[in-house]
Amino acid sequence: MRRKMAAGNWKMNGSVAGLDMISALASAHSDSGCDIVICPPAHLLMSAAKRAGTGPVAVGAQDCHASDKGAHTGDIAAPMIAETGAAYVITGHSERRETYGETDAAVRDKSAAAQGCGLVPIVCIGESLEQREAGEALPVIRAQLENSVPEGSTGATLVVAYEPIWAIGTGKIPTLDQIAEVHTALRADLVARFGPEGDKIRLLYGGSVKPGNAADIFGTKDVDGALVGGASLTADDFSPIIAALTAS
Ligand code: PGA
């Protein structure tokens, strides 16, 4: 049985004052049985991890460098993230793939660096609208999975997030059948590659997850939770999504 996960990606939003949300979520969902993760911008990681303490909310970063240290102005290394008390790091988000030209190989190296210091990477993959309309969604996503995920990954060291690029921040989501089709294919590929461990790796859906559509998405086959952007910025929005996950 895979433990469900609700991960919030704050992107370039949030403030010290906004970390109050961690305490609000911790008291509202102390017994959810789900992993709850907040991924704030890097400057908030240490305060967020302190605030989260040993409670039910974990903290993650939004990116890491593949190297442990060096002349990489503006970047943050995985061991630095681990030192803040964070436990997760998002890798390969489509906004980074698009803006910074991150390739599957770069995402794999970042993810391996994260695993190397005990962080769990949440590896993002997903097709563009053009690829979906051309009928290429599945082969594109499966190739991303193959090439972005490090060898030797296990259920304890990897989370995968399927995020169709055209669903991110747009209010549009795929049909539930489309989500199920992708997650079933990804599950099969993970099992083919990693054996029984492949069945333990969590598969999140991401892209315009809201309180109003969360229950339907969480009821979809092989969906183990969500990576949530806009609706993770306030407890008012994120809390009902966690509640829907708990109830699913
Ligand atoms: P969204 O973002 O929920 O605002 O669509 C999801 C993401 O980019 O992870």
Three-state secondary structure call for residue 71 = coil
Closest CA relative to residue 9, chosen from 49, 60, 44, 58? 60
Q: Is 232 in the pocket of ligand 1 (CB under 6 A)?
A: no
- The answer for residues whose C-beta is within 8 angstroms of residue 49's C-beta and 6 or more apart is 59, 84, 85, 86
How many Cβ atoms are within 10 Å of 195's Cβ, its own excluded? 10
For residue 71, the model assigns a pLDDT of 98
pLDDT in tens, the chain (248 residues): 899 999 999 999 999 999 999 999 999 999 899 999 999 999 999 999 999 999 999 999 999 999 999 999 999 999 999 999 999 999 999 999 999 999 999 999 999 999 999 999 999 999 999 999 999 999 999 999 999 999 999 999 999 999 999 999 999 999 999 999 999 999 999 999 999 999 999 999 999 999 999 999 999 999 999 999 999 999 999 999 999 999 99
For residue 225, the model assigns a pLDDT of 98
Closest CA relative to residue 37, chosen from 227, 231, 183? 227
Q: Which atom of ligand 1 is nearest to the CA of 11?
A: 8
Nearest CA, atom 1, ligand 1: 229
In angstroms, what is the span from residue 206 Cα to ligand 1's centroid?
Answer: 6
Query: CA distances (Å), 232 to each of 86, 139, 220, 221, 242, in order?
Result: 17, 30, 21, 23, 10
Nearest CA, atom 9, ligand 1: 229
For residue 1, the model assigns a pLDDT of 82
For residue 193, the model assigns a pLDDT of 98
Beta bridge partners of 204: 161
Q: Which atom of ligand 1 is nearest to the CA of 227?
A: 9
In angstroms, what is the span from residue 161 Cα to ligand 1's centroid?
Answer: 11
Beta bridge partners of 58: 37
Active site residues: 93, 163
Residue 214 near residue 241 (C-beta atoms within 8 A): yes
Q: What whole-number distance in Å separates Cα of residue 164 and Cα of residue 169?
A: 11
User: Given ligand 1 and candidates 160, 208, 237, which is best to mutate, with the most ligand atoms within 8 Å of its CB?
Assistant: 208
- Domains of the chain in start order, with CATH, are 4-247 (3.20.20.70)
For residue 227, the model assigns a pLDDT of 98
In angstroms, what is the span from residue 190 Cα to ligand 1's centroid?
Answer: 24
Q: Which atom of ligand 1 is nearest to the CA of 210?
A: 3
